[in-house]
Structure 1
Amino acid sequence: MPNAPIDHDAALAMWAEYRAAHPAIATDAEPPSVERFGDHPELTDELLGLVLDGTKRATATLVAEFAAEEQALPRVGSHWIACDSTGAPRVVLRSTELRVGPFTSVDAAFADDEGEDDRSLESWRENHSRYWRRTAAAIGLEWTEQHEVVFERFRVVWPPEVADGRSA
C-alpha cells in the first residue's frame, strides 16, 4: 500500500504559522518543498517518529531523485516540510549542512545522525542500498554505489513543541 497523497493546503498553512512566528528566519523566496521520508507507510512513519523523538537529524537522498521530481537541490538555511504516511504535515525542517558525494563517501558520524536501525555505518549502507535499489528502479535507473547522494543534516524548527532547542 502506498503513502496517501500529501495535503499541500495543510502544509502551506503550517508554513504560514511558522513564517508568522519567525519572520526573520523564514525568508525562503518560495514555499518550501513538502516531502516525506521513506517510500511506504510503515517506513515513512517510522522515520518521522525518529525525527519527532529527536533521534534523526540527518537524511540522504539521491541527486537523481531531485532531478526526476524536477526539484532543485536543497541549500543550507532552506526549509522543507515533512509529512506522515497519511499526507499530513508534521514538522518544518531547516537544512543546516549539505554535502553531495557518492554513496561510498558516507561516514559513521552521518550514519549515527540519521538515527536509523542500530545507527552503525554498516547498517546504514545495507539499508540505504536496499532502499535506493527500489527508488532508483522507480525512476528508471539501475542503482550503483557511485550514484551521487545529497547528505543533509537538519534541525526541527516547527511546531514549537517538537522544535530543537524549542526555538527556530
Structure 2
Amino acid sequence: MTEKSLPVLPPVNAEAAEQMWSAYLESKGIPRTKAPHYVAESFGDHPALADELLDEMLHGTKRATSSLASDYAYYNERVPQPEDHCIVCDGQGQPRAILRVLSVERSSFFEVDAQFAAAEGEGDLSLEYWRAEHEKFWRRTQKSIGIDWNPEDTANAGGELVLERFEVCWPQEHAD
C-alpha cells in the first residue's frame, strides 16, 4: 500500500467512548462535575497505524506521543495539559483505552532526545527511527492540508512540537 492510497480513519464511535468514559469515572469515584478534560481519538492517520500504536500502548512500551503545535490551531483543538485524559480508539474508531497526560513540553524536532524517542515505544526505540518515521508522518499529514512541512519548521513560531508523556489508566488490566 502506498502512502497515496492510505485509508482514512473512520470517525470515533462517540456513544461507545461516552460509555467507556462513564465506566471509568464511576470506577474511580469521580463525579461528572469534577471530571477532567478528555478527548476521544485514534493515534496516527490511518487504521493500520492507529492499531499498531494502540497495541504498543497496551502491550508495549509506548508512554509518550508527539504532535505539531500548529495542528491544534489548524483543527481548532485544545492543546493537551497535564491531567487531561484521552480515550484512545483503534483503527475502526472503537474506544479501547484511556490514558492520563502526565506532562506536556514544547520542543523543536531536533531537540527531541533519545529518552523521549524511546518512550514513544515505536520501532527499535532509537532517536534515529523516531526522527525518520516522524518526519515521514508529518510531511504526509501536513501535505494533506496543503502545507509543505520540514523539520526545520519546528524552530519557527507555531511549528514547534508538543511532547506528551502519559500513563494508561483504563482498562484496569492495562493500567500502569
After TM superposition, the score normalised by the length of structure 2 is 0.87
Q: Report the CA distance between 1:4 and its aligned residue.
A: 2.0
Pick from 122, 130, 142: which aligns with 1:136? 142
> Any unmatched runs of 5+ in structure 2?
1-6
Letter in structure 1 aligned against 2:139:
R
> Any unmatched runs of 5+ in structure 1?
none
> Which string of whole-angstrom CA distances, capped at 9 and with x for unpartnered residues, describes residues 16-69 of structure 1?
111111135984455x11111111111111111000103100000111221122
Separation in structure 2 between the aligned mates of residue 25 and residue 128 of structure 1, nearest angstrom: 38
Is 1:7 aligned to 2:19, yes or no?
A: no
CA contact (8 A) 1:65 1:139 kept: no
Separation in structure 2 between the aligned mates of residue 97 and residue 122 of structure 1, nearest angstrom: 23
Pick from 151, 158, 162: which aligns with 2:170? 158
After TM superposition, the score normalised by the length of structure 1 is 0.91
* Alignment partner, residue 127 of structure 2: 121
From the superposition, tell whether residues 49 and 25 of structure 1 become closer, same or farther in structure 2 (CA, over 3 Å).
farther
CA contact (8 A) 1:28 1:79 kept: no
Q: How does 1:1-168 map to 2 (within 5 A)?
A: 1-24=7-30, 27-28=34-35, 30=37, 32-145=38-151, 146=154, 147-164=159-176
- Structure with a larger share of its residues in helix: 2
Give percent identity, aligned residues only.
Answer: 43
CA contact (8 A) 1:28 1:78 kept: no
- Cα RMSD, aligned residues only: 1.6
